[in-house]
Structure 1
Amino acid sequence: MAGSTRVPTRTPSQLSQGAAVSGGVGDSSLRPDGVLKATGEFAYSSDMWHEDMLWGFTLRSPHAHAEIVSVDVGEALAQAGVYAVLTHDDLPAEVKKYGLELRDTPVLAGGKVRHQGEPVALVAADHPETARRAAAKIKVEYRELPLVHDEATALAADAPVLHPDRDDHHAAHVPHPNIVHRQPIVRGDVAAAAARAEVVVSGEYEVGMQDQAFLGPESGLAVPAEDGGVDLYVATQWLHSDLRQIAPVLGLPEDKVRMTLAGVGGAFGGREDLSMQIHACLLALRTRKPVKMVYNRFESFFGHVHRHPATLWYEHGATRDGTLTHIRCRIVLDGGAYASASPAVVGNASSHAAGPYVVDDVEIEALALYTNNPPCGAMRGFGAVQACFAYEAQMDKLAAELGMDPVEFRRKNAMSQGDRMPTGQVVDSPAPVAELLRRVKARPLPPERQWETLGGAPDVRALPGGLSNTTHGEGVVRGVGYAVGVKNVCFSEGFDDYSTARVRLEVIGGEPVATVHTAAAEVGQGGVTVHAQIARTELGVTRVTIHPADTRVGSAGSTSASRQTYMTGGAVRHVCELVREEVFRRGRERLGTYHPAWATAELLLEGGKVVTDAGEVLAPLVDVLGDEPVEAVDEFRHRPTVALDPATGQGFGHVQFSFAAHRAVVEVDTELGLVKVIELACAQDVGKAMNPDAVVGQIHGGTTQGLGLAVMEEIVVENAKVRNPSFTDYLIPTILDTPTIPVDVLELADEHAPYGLRGAGEAPTLSSTPAVLAAIRAATGKALKRVPVRPEHIVA
């Protein structure tokens, strides 16, 4: 669609009739797995079963930093029903570490543990309870070591160096070996700009550690093969990245490790790193039996990475008319014991640290630390979330000092197409920041005092505290707040980001049918729907089969960075075009250029029209294909990026940018510190709504995760130990906590992207958190420099 539009919400009855039934690009096509997931019949990875399989269990360290003095597995091995017990000394290959970016994570701890919950030993038994009991009989003697748990202890002169043997390419650019990666960004003359500033504000901010809290815990099934290899069925975000890390540790070539995607119950970044993959394969190869591993929720808190907690310092300056003069900031991310994705998160945090605003003079520093806290890595928003919370708080603070409306102040400084990021990169696609802010502000506010009923008695469900019945409206104050954010799309900084697709067009039962095969991980985002929509649009067929994702086709990259529709969707489109060209060639050869039926078919196919019947268009396709299917496989790459300069941070680092704005309406009991978020209105540019209902669903989901970070979600870590590893104590929003989320979707095409689309899944996670905090500040008058905000922060 040209220009901008609000995407209407379609009802299920509307989806089953009319244009949507054709299922092409732009239609709200139904998910093929939707009913199964809604009814609980969908098979997740934890539901897998194999005849004669064993169960695996991981023994984990109770200490955050300790030397392993001795390990005695004798009693565990002697227990009936136990088939194998493995420690670091039993690993079969010279390679004993793995890692997403840096190979620094031990498969099993050898000599030392660096965080609470680090795997020390593995057990395979004929029953999960037998495996658990056997693991409890393994005797490990530890000698505790000094803790590194914050910046002060990490960078002290006498700080223990957690990775003394590191030799990665970041080591030359960091001032201390306990810094994983450091990225400065310097542009312009900040000292001169600060001298011109008429108003300067600064602030220190803190973001707590957030968990991805995905639905399905880590799980998978490893099956030993007759050729000495192994078949692994697993819930993951990136099959080929897993394969690259798994095979060397097993001592096997990659073609002997065959991976198939099992049912995934959400990911949000938490499945980019390995969890049980190598462990299950090791046990299967040792026992020569299938081995299943399923984490319980307690173990899951220790089995995957989390969002980096952060401390941030910012200084903003402006002239009296509200023009930004400069930004100084320092962002410190706690990466935990191992690198995971920390280097890339640092790059993202630094390059997005100024937000979607025009400012020519910046001094930015972002870094990630090695500590003995839980490892942190990818989570939805990927470094940009932490920065957005701080810079949006600063924008409100600066607007207040200037006496300006906070939305109009943002709009005055909002970037647009043609402006530059702090890295010097020109934003060369639409950047409707001011329009997004205008839309959320113009939306009518929800009615006041919604808890009041006709009879006068309050409906406690609509009050802060809800059914806890803690308030009846006394001390409840409404607040409204705004925020906007910017997030990159696809992998960045010179990464060879590509995706592979195989498409086959053949005749089955007298009808052309397309099969699409990629390794893209369907984690709930809807790739299984979009890829079929693209094939229908490009090939003009109605029947499309999505082949299960596995490593028998080339890599599709990770289901992260809002990249799969752009990258694997782009690959499917590209390969469909190759298939279509071959069909055209055969058509001209066999039917002749002037055959009337073929001419019609070719015209419609070249126009990308979805054909809904088997009439004049499908008939010639059947004649052309006959018994000879057409198949093509190829890779798709986006335009190249470059690594940011290690000294200045300048460079074309990102493929594309995505923008979203929120307005939050909250009601706060200022006496009890309780918060009820009434509405979180969002406006977002998605370039092209490939599947409008799915786009709105992604915006709802990202918005709700941002809400969770704002008011409830935090892994509490004290002295490097997790204090709340359960959903009893780690709270996530339920349907009762989720506010109304009206959405405006703009479709301003990016000419560099397939169909003009723009990655949509992450941007709403950025701006929803600071919008909620801005609204709470408006209601309470409190500074509130930390998320999640707690009752004691409000009433203190």
Structure 2
Amino acid sequence: MRDLTPTGLTQASGTKGGIGESTLRPDGTLKVTGEFAYASDLWHEDMLWGVTLRSPHAHARVRSLDVAEALATPGVHAVLTHADLPAATRYGLEIEDTPVLADGVVRHHGEPVALVAADHPETARRAAAKIRVDYETLPVVTDEASATAPDAPVLHPGRTDDHAPHVPHPNIVHRQPIVRGDVSAAKDRAEVIVTGEYEVGMQDQAFLGPESGLAVPAEDGGVDLYIATQWLHADLRQIAPVLGLPEEKIRMTLSGVGGAFGGREDLSMQAHACLLALRTGRPVKMVYNRFESFFGHVHRHPARLRYEHGATRDGDLLYVTARIVLDGGAYASSSPAVVGNAASLAVGPYVVDHVDVEAIALYTNNPPCGAMRGFGAVQACFAYEAQMDKLAAALGMDPVEFRRRNAMSQGAVMPTGQVVDSPAPVAELLRRVKAMPLPPARQWESAGGAADVRALPGGLSNTTHGESVVRGVGYAVGIKNVGFSEGFDDYSTARVRLEAVGGEAVATVHTAMAEVGQGGVTVHAQIARTELGVARVTIHPADTRVGSAGSTSASRQTYVTGGAVKHVCELVREKVLELARARFGTYHPAWATAELLLEDGKVVTDGGEVLATLVDVLEGEAVEAEDEWRHRPTRPFDRRTGQGFGHVQYSFAAHRAVVEVDTELGLVKVVELACAQDVGKALNPLSVTGQIQGGTTQGLGLAVMEEIVVDPVTAKVRNPSFTDYLIPTILDTPAIPVDVLELADDHAPYGLRGVGEAPTLSSTPAVVAAIRQATGLALTRVPVRPEHLTGR
């Protein structure tokens, strides 16, 4: 049996590598050389392969299922359907509405219907194709009109979840209004009013590694699951009832994760692999191919948004009304939380006293949608930033100065009534990004006059030499919450051990944090070095043998799990100093009187006098602590007014996009996406810059190329492959200069602010604003396609 987990990640760099330094990632070299073990690399000597049979219809009744031919196929060890489930048959992040296997009705294209385990993946696939399913197709619900029509099929009859009493129709998952001030009175005073209707397409997370994992049955009747996920303990909570096992009999270990961006928050094949392993008594590995991956995880909610803004002639915002309709697809996933985010952040980082917002999420027969980087704030930002440009144009004002005039700052009141009690440098970020030098015009022209087509729209396709190319510049700024909101018990657990190994003090940090590429393993080591004064830190593989670390999402891991590591390191440090005082109390008067510090592997006084080494203090004894850590509590938004202290922290980013547009062919080249962002404290400046550039690029993808296309009549996915679903390559990615501002949040560990999501918000509307300036077109939908620019 191969080692099923990445080797413990150890870093040693003398006394360097603490908070504030650009420490290199311990997994970086392994990943770029191909040596890193991802979940798809898992192997067990006697394992079987699991395959899922999926529905070819978006809405249908399963009249009959015949698995006899599949089960008779040589090499097949098990075929499971809904009728074979041993315990609970549904699961869900917030609402338990998702069938483990189709329960007589399929509600979206690609829904799991049956499972096969065989001794070879091709055998399993061939056997799955032999399963005979008789479907009776049903009418599909694809949008708000069809979902709420008087004769609309109710997709989840008999709903009993907490959200059901607060929605006007059973096909609405959740509704959240935000009401503040007196919009009617403000309208009477408005001198300029602009309205707009906007649309955001369905975006895929497009992570590098498809869903994969390995379930190994255990002698105690339980199971060991090695899995690529974002949230080990949420998976455990949902899997245990499905398997009919107590949680302590399901041991989960994080395997190498090839990206996530929200797409691994929900279950995919976790329960399926475990069910097959427990049925067959053999380890079962499941790995989705790329086609299946498009059906195996949730996507970003497509949205339709209608906004109205009113302002004075001098450019002061008076009121905002908005209606945001999010398509949640067939199952709830995290739609209620996405609705809460979209509604509470719908106005953007601006001071507006009078607000009337409604956000809803629908149940439809489209693919399920849930968490994706930006989580509801992305859709709202595209609309409100388009409105800011419209208002600026109507007022004859510079769009950046108009935004700065209305920008919030510390002490501003959100539409939810929450006071922003940490730095909110919105105006300064806009000033900084505007002040960055612009890239030279007509960069494609060489000294000899020949065109470098790589710098032109269309690139190496050689479609133009610049004849119809026009430049545009656009700006946008966004606001994103950090951490889980609305009263969620958002905590993390850490265990830290300090011991002497080979004459050197070594710290081991153990959390259940999912390292999905964000660099948490690096930051946790930096925190331990800073707090414990040691050079060598080992990061224990993440598993459920330690308490929950929550999800790697909501830009929360450095804040919350980093906060837990810091807190527990402080507990360990106190234990070590108590041990030192006990062992060397008569050695030096400073033991009893001075404040003692751990630094560079030594115990020193606050004056810098060395009293002992950590190795001497420990004398072969390990010091360990484990504890939970929570940020300050939040509260749910009022269901009628949306008022409440709903978010623990806010983050802000501003972008300036420079684009070249071929107006004849409708092709776009993004030349530069400059970003200014406040990060509170850059714990690892190199990693911070990488997060900002990554989020910026994902927003670029939504602006000009990324969309899952769903047939409006059949609700079937038309483009489940990277041949037809386009993502930015290195040739599409522009220069991304970054200006990092560090204004500490006094409520957060080290004053840090969550980084990864905010740049995803504002990069999309900045790119579209630049295309608008270049073309003069309204462009109310993303992604912008060539036909939107040419009319053809």
* Residue in 2 that maps onto 1:379: 372
Within 1, Cα distance between the matches of 2:469 and 2:288? 42
Cα distance in 1 for partners of 2:522, 2:511 equals: 13
Q: Counterpart of 2:652 in 1: which secondary structure? A: strand
When residues 786 and 754 of structure 1 are mapped into structure 2, their CA distance, relative to the original with a 3 A threshold, is: same
Match of 2:588 in 1: 595
Matched, 1:201 2:194: yes
Q: Distance in 2 between matches of 1:544 and 1:775?
A: 46
What is the correspondence of 1:447-462 to structure 2 with a 5 Å cutoff?
447-462=440-455
Q: Distance in 2 between matches of 1:221 and 1:111?
A: 28
Structure 1 contact 566–754 (Cα < 8 Å) conserved: yes
Instruction: Find the aligned partners of 1:448 and 1:342 in 2 and give their Cα distance.
Output: 44
CA distance in 2, matches of 1:600, 1:378: 53
Deviation at 1:620, TM superposition (A): 2.6
Please tell me whether residue 404 in structure 1 is matched to residue 397 in structure 2.
yes
How far does the alpha carbon of each residue in 1:438-482 deviate from its partner, in whole angstroms, 9 at most, with x for none? 000011100000000122110100000001111110110000000
1:302 maps to a residue whose letter is F
**After superposition, where does 1:75-224 map in structure 2 within 5 Å?**
75-93=69-87, 95-224=88-217
Aligned partner (choices 25, 30, 35) of residue 41 of structure 1: 35
Residue of 51, 65, 68 corresponding to 2:62? 68
CA shift digits 1:526-579 (9 cap, x unpaired): 010000000000000001010000000000000000000000000000000000
Aligned pair in 2 of structure 1 residues 711, 229: CA closer, same or farther (>3 Å)?
A: same
Partner residue of 2:670 out of 656, 659, 677: 677
Shift of 1:623: 1.6
SS in 1 for 2:659: strand
Give 2:387's aligned residue: 394
Contact 1:601 1:618 in 2 (8 A): no
**Shift of the alpha carbon at 1:593?**
6.7
* Contact map agreement 1:710 1:770 (CA 8 A) in 2: yes
C-alpha separation in 2, matches of 1:389 and 1:618: 59
The answer to whether residue 686 in structure 2 is matched with residue 696 in structure 1 is no
Q: Distance in 2 between matches of 1:577 and 1:196?
A: 56
Is the Cα–Cα contact under 8 Å of residues 703 and 765 in structure 1 kept in the other structure?
yes
1 CA distance for matches of 2:589 and 2:494? 32
- 1:165 shift after superposition: 2.0
Aligned sequence identity (%): 83
Measured after TM superposition, the shift of residue 764 of structure 1 is 0.1
Structure-1 residue corresponding to 2:761:
766
**1:54 touches 1:291 (CA, 8 Å); kept in 2?**
yes
Q: Alignment length, in residue pairs?
A: 776
Q: Using the TM superposition, give the Cα deviation of residue 180 of structure 1 relative to its aligned residue in structure 2, in angstroms.
A: 0.1
Return the alpha-carbon distance in structure 1 between the equivalents of residues 404 and 458 of structure 2: 35
For the Cα contact (< 8 Å) 1:500–1:555, is it kept in 2? yes
Residue 613 and residue 470 in structure 1: after superposition, are their counterparts in 2 closer, same or farther (change >3 A)? farther
User: For the Cα contact (< 8 Å) 2:581–2:592, is it kept in 1?
Assistant: no
- Give the residue type in structure 2 aligned to 1:453: S
* Cα 1:31/1:570, change in 2 over 3 Å: same
1:58 pairs with 2:52: yes
* Matched residue, 1:442: 435
Aligned position for 1:724 = 719
Amino acid of the structure 1 residue aligned with 2:778 = A
Hey, what does 1:288 align to over in structure 2?
A: 281
1:532 equivalent in structure 2: 525
Output the amino acid matched with 2:16: S
Q: Distance in 1 between matches of 2:132 and 2:502?
A: 63
Question: Matches of 1:38 and 1:580 in 2, distance apart?
Answer: 36
Q: Which runs of structure 1 show a deviation greater than 3 angstroms over 4 or more consecutive aligned residues?
A: 596-604, 609-619
Q: Match of 2:787?
A: 792
Matched with 1:252 is 245
Q: Aligned with 2:210: secondary structure? A: coil
Match of 1:509 among 477, 490, 502: 502
> What whole-Å deviation, never above 9, does each CA across 1:656-697 have from its counterpart, x for those lacking one?
000000000000001110000000000000000000000000
- Secondary structure of the 1:213 match is coil
Q: Which runs of no fewer than 5 residues in structure 1 stay unpaired? A: 1-15
Whether the 8 Å contact between 2:603 and 2:612 is mirrored in structure 1 is no
Distance (Å, rounded) in 2 between the aligned partners of 1:769 and 1:124? 43
Report if aligned partners of 1:270, 1:304 keep a CA contact under 8 Å in 2. yes
Q: Deviations over 1:107-162 (max 9, x none)?
A: 00011000000000000000000000000000000000000001110000000000
> d(CA) in 1 for partners of 2:594 and 2:445?
62
1:745 to 740, 747, 750: 740
Trace 1:214-363 onto structure 2 (pairs within 5 A).
214-363=207-356
Name 2:3's counterpart in structure 1.
Answer: none
C-alpha contact 1:542 1:612 (8 A) present in aligned 2: no
SS at match of 1:46: helix
Secondary structure at the counterpart of residue 722 of structure 1: coil
Structure 1 residues 85 and 494 mapped into 2: Cα distance closer, same or farther (>3 Å)?
A: same
Deviations 1:196-234 (A, max 9, x none): 000000000000000000000000000000000000000
CA displacement, residues 599-656 of structure 1 (integer Å, 9 cap, x when unaligned) = 9996443xxx556999985953112111221100000001000000000000000000
Aligned pair 1:734/2:729, yes or no? yes
- Worse-matched range after superposition: 20-29 or 735-744: 20-29
Determine the C-alpha separation between the residues in 2 that align with 1:694 and 1:152.
Answer: 45
Q: Is the 8 A contact 1:243 1:259 kept in 2?
A: yes
Q: Distance in 1 between matches of 2:603 and 2:176?
A: 56
The alignment partner of 1:389 has SS state of helix
- Contact 1:301/1:725, CA 8 A, preserved across alignment: yes
Give deviations 1:79-121, integer Å, cap 9, x for gaps. 000000000000011x100001100000000110000000000
The Cα offsets for residues 299-343 of structure 1, whole Å up to 9 and x where unpaired, read as 000000000000000000000000000000000000000000000
The AA in structure 1 aligned to 2:41 is D
- Tell me if 1:627 matches 2:620: yes
Give me the whole-angstrom Cα distance separating, in 1, the residues matched to 2:452 and 2:589. 69
Q: Report the alpha carbon displacement of residue 595 of structure 1 after superposing the two structures with TM.
A: 2.4
User: Of the candidates 6, 15, 22, which is equivalent to residue 16 of structure 2?
Assistant: 22
* Matching of residues 560-571 of structure 1 within 5 Å: 560-571=553-564
Tell me the TM-score normalized by structure 1: 0.96
What's the counterpart of residue 4 of structure 2?
none
Q: What code does the residue aligned with 2:771 have?
A: I
Shift of 1:63: 0.3
The alignment partner of 1:647 has SS state of coil
Please tell me whether the aligned partners of residues 196 and 319 of structure 1 are also in contact (alpha carbons under 8 angstroms): yes
Task: Please list every run of 5 or more consecutive structure 2 residues that lacks an aligned counterpart in the other structure.
Answer: 1-10
Quote the offset at 1:21 in angstroms: 6.8
In structure 1, the residue corresponding to 2:613 is in which secondary structure? helix
Q: CA deviation at 1:278?
A: 0.3
Q: Give me the whole-angstrom Cα distance separating, in 2, the residues matched to 1:603 and 1:556.
A: 31
Indicate how the Cα distance of structure 1 residues 96 and 319 shifts in structure 2: closer, same or farther if over 3 A, else same: same
Q: CA deviation at 1:40?
A: 1.1
Conserved 8 A contact 1:597-1:620: no
| Contact in 2 for aligned 1:681/1:743 (Cα 8 Å) | yes
Output the amino acid matched with 1:361. H
Residue aligned with 1:589, SS: helix
